[in-house]
Every structure is written in structure tokens, then in C-alpha cells.
Amino acid sequence: MKRQPFGHFAAIDWSGAAGERQAGIAVSICSAEGGAPRLVKPGHRWSRSEVLDWLLHAMPEGTLAGLDLGISLPFDDCGAYFPGWSGSPATARELWAMIDDICGDEPHLAANRFVDHPVACEYFRRHGGREGAHFRKGAIGGRGRFRVTEHAQHDLGCKPYSNFNLVGAAQVGKSSLTGMRVLHRLSGRVPVWPIDPLPGSGSLVVEIYTTLAALAAGRSASRSKMRSRRELNAALARLDSPEVSRRTRIDDHTADALLTAAWLRTTAHRKELWHPARMSAEVARTEGWTFGAL
């Protein structure tokens, strides 16, 4: 099936922090026709619920939208998300539903009740030196279990962290778990690749890792964060994108979103990125994939 071209490209820098509104969330979009990427609601402090509403009701039709979070947990390495637990889900969609059900009445799309669940907590590393009995340190630097796509990220020079690790400034576990609640609520309304097949038309959500965009723009993994308009515009130039407006307020979150939207525009046409060699059908439905990781 031949895919119709996307008309817009959006990138969302996500946050799993406590509270309703997050300084760490930024939403950027650019047009396939050209022009600089721009922030959606510049200066606005987004809530996770507002981002969900934007994806469902305000995002332009035909948008490729990247969410900077892990869309699933490791499965391939142990043949289960939670080996030894009879309630362990069999697919990513079942995992999303399980998390959203356990956390259903928790405000702000938070996921604390899942990581504090009497069984689930034993698979996570949490604050206060609380390392669950089933937390496995994994093969890469003792950082926990990794999905197949995270091994691919590592091979590209990135420094991924396990979604079972909830400790440290670089952890992504909290962001990923809150994001899975959002993904569950998109079900049947906006497809999520590769959990869902690539549709022939319409909008699509993918997992992104903003460091991949930074690497494509000539920066290193250790220098992926940009905090000035000068740094961002230099990186955008490497992607043949116009500079952002002088009125655009830049921090590391907005810079990540702006650069990655432009990067999606330059890479979405590459067929090999939609068919990574290490992504089997089983991996696709259980672990998902990071767009751009080969």
C-alpha cells in the first residue's frame, strides 16, 4: 500500500513529572510545504490532558506526530513484560489498557498507582533505594531491561535508559508510563505505529527520541541539548530548515520539539525507517519501535 504524503509534522517533548501543568512539555509543528517549525501555543504551560485533546481534536489532518517517550516496556528479552506475573499483558495495547485501568481515577494522567501497585512495583527501580525484586539490571551498563529498539538506539551512539528505571535525571520511565495512558485513549482514533500498521492516509503517532534528530543535525549525543536560538538555528540549517522566529523562546524542551519536527519532515519519506531489520512482527506488537532507529 502506498502512503499518501504527510501534510504536517509535529514533535512533542513529553514529561511524566507530578502535577497538572508541565514546563517540560513542548509541542511543535511544521508544514510539508516548507517554512520554519513553530511552537503550538508558545509560552503556554501544557497539561498532559491538553496534549491528548490537541492530538484528538486540533492536530491538522494528515500529521505525523512524534511523542518523545517509550511507547511500551521490554518484552522480547524475557518473553513477557512482567515475567512470573500471571497478570502480565501479552501486547502493548493490553499493557496500555492495564496501566490506564489501574490509574484510571488518578488525576493529570499520572501513573503513580501503577508503579506503586503491590505486584508491578517489584519490576521497577524507584526512588529511595527501592529496587524491586524483579528489576533486572540488563546488559547495557546495569541500566535495566531494554527493548530491541533501545539496543538499536545504543548502537547509533545514543544513551537510552530502561523504562523500568524511575530514578535519576535521565530516566524516562515516568514519562513513558504517563504516555501509555495517552496512547490508550487514542485507540481507534489515531493509529500508533508500529503497534498499528502504517495507514494509507490520515494522521499517525510515532515514538521519537530527540537525540536522533540532534545526531542528524550534526550534534553529538552528549551535546544533543540546545538552549539558545543560535544553537537551534545552526542545527536547523543542517536539516535545510529555515530559522525559527526571533520571538521564539528557547529552552532545551522547546528546542528538542522544534528540531525534531523539522527532522521528521526530512526523514518521513525514507522507506527503510518504516521497515527496520530488527523489528519483527512480534516486536512491533509488544515493544513498538522508535522512528529513525535502525
Q: Is residue 97 part of a domain?
A: yes
Answer yes or no: do 99 and 176 share one domain. Answer: yes
Final residue of a domain: which of 182, 202, 219?
182
For the chain, give the percent of residues with pLDDT over 90.
87
Cα–Cα distance measured from residue 150 to residue 146, given in angstroms and rounded to the nearest whole number: 6
| pLDDT of 139 | 66
Instruction: Residue count of the chain, please give it.
Output: 294
Please write the tens of the pLDDT for every residue from 160-183. Answer: 989 999 988 778 899 999 999 999
Answer yes or no: do 210 and 269 share one domain. Answer: yes
Answer yes or no: do 49 and 13 share one domain. Answer: yes
Answer yes or no: do 237 and 193 share one domain. Answer: yes
> Which domain does 231 fall in, by range?
8-71+185-274
Answer yes or no: do 175 and 204 share one domain. Answer: no
Please write the tens of the pLDDT for every residue from 9-37. Answer: 999 999 999 999 999 999 999 999 999 99
Answer yes or no: do 115 and 162 share one domain. Answer: yes
In the numeric block, the cell 535525571 is attached to: 169
Final residue of a domain: which of 134, 161, 182?
182
Q: Is residue 290 part of a domain?
A: no
Q: Is residue 67 part of a domain?
A: yes
Q: Is residue 109 part of a domain?
A: yes
Provide mean pLDDT across the span 62-87. Answer: 97
Range of lowest pLDDT (18-22, 70-74, 238-242): 18-22
Answer yes or no: do 190 and 212 share one domain. Answer: yes
Q: Is residue 58 part of a domain?
A: yes
Is pLDDT above 90 for 2? no
Answer yes or no: do 266 and 193 share one domain. Answer: yes
Provide mean pLDDT across the span 118-139. Answer: 89
Q: Is residue 48 part of a domain?
A: yes
Q: Is residue 3 part of a domain?
A: no
Answer yes or no: do 31 and 176 share one domain. Answer: no
Q: What angle do CA 19, 23, 24 make, to 5 degrees?
A: 95
Domain count, the chain: 2
Q: Is residue 207 part of a domain?
A: yes
Please write the tens of the pLDDT for every residue from 91-119. Answer: 999 999 999 999 999 999 999 999 999 99
Cα–Cα distance measured from residue 233 to residue 123, given in angstroms and rounded to the nearest whole number: 42
Final residue of a domain: which of 130, 148, 182?
182
Answer yes or no: do 46 and 18 share one domain. Answer: yes
The whole model's pTM is what? 0.96
Answer yes or no: do 63 and 104 share one domain. Answer: no
* Pairing status of strand 8-13 against strand 63-68: parallel
| pLDDT of 102 | 97
Answer yes or no: do 35 and 63 share one domain. Answer: yes
Provide mean pLDDT across the span 219-228. Answer: 91
